Amino acid sequence: MNEAEGLRQRRPLRPQVITEDSPAQEAKEGSTYSSKVFRVTFLTLAASLTVPLLGVTVLLDCPIDPQPISLKEPPLLTGALEPNIKLRKAERLWENQLVGPESIVNIGGTREDEPTCGRPLGMRVGPNNTLFVADAYYGLYEVNPGTGETKVLVSTKTLIEGQKLSFVNDLTVTRDGRKIYFTDSSSKWQRRDYLFLVMEGTDDGLLEYDTVTKEVKVLMVGLRFPNGVQLSPAEDFVLVQETTMARIRRYYVSGLMKGGADMFVENMPGLPDNIRLSSSGGYWVAMAVVRPNPGFSMLDFLSEKPWIKRMIFKLLSQETVTKFVPKYSLVVELSETGSYRRSFHDPNGVTAAYVSEAHEQNGYLYLGSFRSPFICRLNLQHV
């Protein structure tokens, strides 16, 4: 053995250095690998779901052609609009004996007369105690509640300025019964598709029917979902609820401003349905959908996003979408100038749900509904 070989044999082996960082390093490398696997798996699944979904939404037809709508920030629910639960003091009448009793009138002072009215969208008493009725699908009628005799005044088959009526909604009548002012909410959608109408934002108008000359005139156009109508106590103007825009327009039918129009109430806290006179000289306005502030308003969020509306109605039915709309019933009393006097609320629609009209009679407020199987009666002395 030479000297070099002896030195190599006597050289000690280099010890293996073990530190505390080694297991951590291995764990870190394993964690990084797991994270990469998770991300790849997640992105793969997301892509496998998103791509077909996008393909389906592109290929599917959308039943509506929504237009962008500009709404102001909803008014704060303070002062006269302060939330409360006063509508929960109402009592339900004829529960499960009615189907969507939207409109209410009073004849002769007894409640037994009201169930005979059926389910019209708009209804008024004429000078001879006959009923003028707005039927959503068939037009304007005059009905004798005593005899059951029915007379067609304006049929939806009638062409008015080259266009058929499609969704006759509400009406108001002069005291002498000569003039009937009514709304055609849509020339495209029927009543059962009212949600399409709200979301699409298309417009229609206010019309006048003369019971003597049998003529129909178009007074206003360009209203987005024209709904409830009400003559002023002096019968010098007509108020029209513009539901989609959450406001009330005014059209002058007599006086110096005859034929003119202006804004009566703008930017309301909910979507106004029907409007009726109050005993104080003002107006009752019923709302089944509110625009909470503070809070989140789906209507306002979607108003300028037509592409989201298209996506929703490509995938979901009207009935399904309705289930996502929070229940909240609201009735406000306006002064003769349009300011808020007071408001009655029912958050979540516990007692009074889907209110469509508030009709005052002998110290009570009767609440109609477009969906509930009852009407409600609220004693105004108790609120």
Q: What is the mean pLDDT of each run of 10 residues along the chain (383 residues)?
A: 48 49 51 62 63 62 87 95 97 85 60 43 89 89 90 85 82 96 88 85 89 95 94 98 96 96 97 96 95 90 90 89 89 98 96 94 93 92 93
- Distance from chain centroid for Cα 302: 13
Asked if 177 and 168 touch (Cβ cutoff 8 Å), the reply is no
Q: Give the domain CATH number at 118.
A: 2.120.10.30
119 found inside a domain: yes
Pairwise CA distance, residues 158 & 173, whole Å = 20
How many domains in the chain? 1
The pLDDT score that the predictor gives to residue 128 is 87
Pairwise CA distance, residues 234 & 301, whole Å = 39
Pairwise CA distance, residues 182 & 318, whole Å = 26
Omega into 294 within 30° of 0, i.e. cis?
yes
51 found inside a domain: no
127 found inside a domain: yes
Look at residues 66, 70, 83, 68 and name the one whose alpha carbon lies nearest to residue 267.
Answer: 70
The pLDDT score that the predictor gives to residue 161 is 77
The pLDDT score that the predictor gives to residue 18 is 46
214 found inside a domain: yes
186 found inside a domain: yes
156 found inside a domain: yes
* Domain span at 144: 79-289+329-379
71 found inside a domain: no
The pLDDT score that the predictor gives to residue 231 is 98
113 found inside a domain: yes
Look at residues 178, 174, 270, 225 and name the one whose alpha carbon lies nearest to residue 64.
Answer: 225
